[in-house]
Every structure is written in structure tokens, then in C-alpha cells.
Amino acid sequence: MQNSGWILVTGGAGYIGAHTCVALLEAGHQVLVFDSLVNGSTEALARASALGGGEIAFVQGDVRDRAALDALFARYPVSAVLHLAGVKAVGESVRQPLHYYEVNVSGSLSLLQAMDAAGVHTLVFSSSATVYGAPVRLPIDEQAALGPSNPYGRSKLMVEDQLRDLCAAQPHWRVAILRYFNPVGAHPSGQLGEDPHGTPDNLMPFVSQVAVGRRPELAVFGNDYPTPDGTGVRDYLHVCDLAAGHVAALKALPAQGGLLTVNLGTGRGHSVLDVVRAFEAASGQTVPLRFAPRRPGDIAACWADPSRAEQLLGWRAECDLDAMCRDVWRWQRGNPQGYR
């Protein structure tokens, strides 16, 4: 059934964005993507359109460009916005904090102002578990203390605070804040996947590039953490489960207005060595590794209590780590150089 109005996905040509576009098309939505293509790919959009079985309207632009946003809303009757556009590398944020605040915070503010001017008051915001910082207790629920330890996490928390103040002042806004844990995986078709430009910051794309022969070995950042095998533990979430979470959030937004905040994670933690073993089993490839010093800013362990997302959105993660690794390998083996 065709829903009325366009769903605008900022950053929709990126890794999470393209998978989310597939899920939106499958749910019968009309999809409009606004993306600067700094990290995204029009090839990913073309493939997402084919997989989702529908057209995706695309406008290239930057969320910091208010005039471009005003023109976008003037041209398309938008019913809701999924705001995924942003920069998200922790290490890079430490080196370039002003860039992170400009893109993530000023960019979000510019989008909110353009939405308000256009009378669009429904938003799903891509936040992150990094707003919690080092957890006091595990699993992490939405009432856990907020204390980001890097500019990336602080930029996400600043936007969350903007949204909380906005919804308090203008209760007709309908807002969902989604705190992603560790998105990994790829569409099971092998057509869509993560294609980081340059050296991957994150574990899973690095492991898959070692397995496909693009890199000689994995450096494991620390094996002296207080975890079962000494390596860092995270809550890895299949990107298709994450995409489904966005569709579920859109449906669950209270018609009368209001703000909801949920963790999107599996509720299970896996160590770096767990991921390497699962990937070797899924790919049949050996992943050579060496132990290296801890990475500054890393925490030992982090995984979600996802029960609130199940209560409020009727959403839960379906895929386990083996499925995540199988899907990443199918994507990487079929696209050894990504979309290029």
C-alpha cells in the first residue's frame, strides 16, 4: 500500500542508508534521498532501488546547506524524515572535532529549521550507543547515564538534547531517537554492503578486507581488557535488522506527537576474537592477526538491553553473528573493491 508523502532519508546513499531505503520500499513507502556523496554511492542507491522494487528519488546536497534543504522541501511533499547523514568515526572526531560539530550538530539544526519551515514535524534520528560512554552497568538500558568520551559521541548527544528541548517546546513534533550499537553485516543478496573509503576504522570491514586479501592481517587493539578473552566486547547488530528498526520506528511514532528513545542492539556481546572465529567459519578463510596496544578512547565492553525497542516498536533483532559474517563475506567476495 502506497503511504502518502515522501520519506526523506538524509545520508540514504550510505551503508546504513541504502539498506534502510530497501526496507522502506518493501514497506510501501515513497523514498527520497538527500546525500552529499562524501561517503555514499549512487551505485548503492541503484542497487537498493532494484532490491526494494521501487524508484528512489535522489538529490545531491549537504544538510548544512539550508537553501538546498528549503528547495528540497518546496519540491517534494515530505511526510517524515530519517536523518542518517553525518560523520561517525570516533578516532577522526578526536582529530577533527570542529568538523564533527559542524556536520553533525549544525547540519542537524539546519535540517530541523528547514523541516519546521516546511511544516514537516516527523523525524527518526540516527543516534549512537557512544552517547553512553563507558557503561556503569551492563546491559545498557535507555536510563543509563549519558557520558560520551569523544567528540563524535558528544555531537550525537548535542543533537539528542536539541530534540528533547524541541519536543518539550513544541509537543506536536513526532520524534524517535535510535541509539545504534554496532551495525555490521550486508544485504543477503550480496548486492549491498559496507564500503568504507580508505582504511576501515571499524572491525568488521577490516576483517572482511583481510579475508578477501586486500590487507595482510588484523591488528587486535588490546587483549588485556577485563573480558572473557581479554579483547573488546560489543553488541554487533545486522544492518538489515537496523533498517527494519527504522521502519518500525516510523510506524510507532505517536500520532499526537511526542518523543521516544530506544537502543537498537541484539542484547548479546561478542569479543573481537569471537568475530574473527565466526568470520573464518563463515568464509572458510583464515584471518591472520596480531595483538596491538589498546586504541585510545575504546571501552572494554558494551551491549544493549533492547527490551524497550521491543515494547515500543515491536522490534527485535533476528540475525545472529554467524548470519552477519556470512552476509558480509557474500558482499565482500562478490565486490572485493566495494562499489568501485
Residues 121-140 that bind ligand WQD (CB under 6 A): 128, 130
Q: Compare residues 65 and 201 and give the one whose CB is closer to ligand WQD.
A: 201
DSSP sequence for 16-45? HHHHHHHHHHHTT-EEEEEE-SSS--HHHH
Stretch touching ligand WQD by CB under 6 A, among 20-28, 44-52, 73-81, 195-203: 195-203
CA-based torsion, 52, 34, 250, 269: positive or negative: positive
> Residues with catalytic annotation?
152
Q: What is the rounded distance in angstroms from the CA atom of residue 71 to the CA atom of residue 88?
A: 27
The CB-of-171 to ligand WQD minimum distance in angstroms stands at 28
| Residue 26 main-chain phi, psi, to 5 deg | -65, -25
Task: Note whether 100 binds ligand WQD by CB under 6 A.
Answer: no
The CB-of-161 to ligand WQD minimum distance in angstroms stands at 17
Task: Note whether 182 binds ligand WQD by CB under 6 A.
Answer: yes
The CB-of-23 to ligand WQD minimum distance in angstroms stands at 18
Q: Give yes or no for a contact between 242 and 194, defined as CB atoms under 8 angstroms apart.
A: no
Q: Compare residues 232 and 338 and give the one whose CB is closer to ligand WQD.
A: 232
Residue 302: HSE in the Cβ half-sphere, 13 Å Cα cutoff? 22
- Alpha carbon 340 to its chain's center: 22
Q: Compare residues 95 and 295 and give the one whose CB is closer to ligand WQD.
A: 295
Q: What is the rounded distance in angstroms from the CA atom of residue 262 to the CA atom of residue 212?
A: 35
The CB-of-81 to ligand WQD minimum distance in angstroms stands at 19
Q: Compare residues 109 and 299 and give the one whose CB is closer to ligand WQD.
A: 299
Per-residue DSSP letter, 154: H
Task: Note whether 88 binds ligand WQD by CB under 6 A.
Answer: yes
Whose CA is closest to 225, among 328, 285, 295, 138?
295
Task: Note whether 272 binds ligand WQD by CB under 6 A.
Answer: yes
Task: Note whether 295 binds ligand WQD by CB under 6 A.
Answer: yes
The CB-of-27 to ligand WQD minimum distance in angstroms stands at 23
Residues 201-260 that bind ligand WQD (CB under 6 A): 201-203, 206, 218-221, 232, 234
Measured N-to-C along each axis, helices 42-52 and 15-26 cross at an angle, to the nearest 10 degrees, of 20
Q: Find cell 549491498 and name the residue.
A: 192
